[in-house]
Amino acid sequence: AQTVTQSQPEMSVQEAETVTLSCTYDTSESDYYLFWYKQPPSRQMILVIRQEAYKQQNATENRFSVNFQKAAKSFSLKISDSQLGDAAMYFCALSNDYKLSFGAGTTVTVRA
């Protein structure tokens, strides 16, 4: 069985500041992928960033970056220069074999 835990139900950030979302996971597999998905009020699931477990280099996509600590089974997301459009629920997810497991989500609000 695999599990994903997001311990922060809500986070608030000032516009232009940085916020970090936490995610820990548990899996017995050595080969897997980790993801962060964004869900705005429209409910659409949008892939933010992806990390292959065998790659040591942390993934980066524009203002979004991850801190992947494989030994600690930790996968945090950093949003830099936060914008009003970043306000959404963010889900951490883990995939291996044929299953994709999600955390409970973190709601991010951005203060103008």
**Residue 84 DSSP class:** G
Using CB under 8 A as the binding rule, whether residue 33 contacts another protein is answered as: yes
Q: Is 25 in the site for another protein (CB under 8 A)?
A: no
Residue 38: its H or E element? strand 33-39
> Cβ 112 to another protein, closest distance in Å?
26
Terminus-to-terminus CA distance in the chain, angstroms?
A: 41
- Taking the least distance from each CB to another protein, the nearer of 80 and 96 is 96
33, two tokens: 């992928």
Scan residues 39-98 and list those touching another protein (CB under 8 A): 43-45, 47, 50, 52, 91, 93, 95-98
CB of 91 to another protein, least distance (A): 6
Measure the CA–CA gap between 83 and 103, rounded to whole angstroms: 23
DSSP character for 86? G
CA distances in angstroms from 96 to 32, 35, 38, 84, 99, listed in the order given:
5, 12, 20, 33, 6
Question: Does 27 engage in binding with another protein (CB under 8 A)?
Answer: no
Q: Considering only the stretches 3-11, 19-27, 64-72, 73-81, report the one whose residues sit in contact with another protein under the rule CB under 8 A.
A: 3-11
Q: Applying CB under 8 A, does 108 fall inside the site for another protein?
A: no
- In sequence order, what are the beta bridge partners of 61? 64
* Interface contacts to another protein, rule CB under 8 A: 4, 6, 9, 31-33, 43-45, 47, 50, 52, 91, 93, 95-105
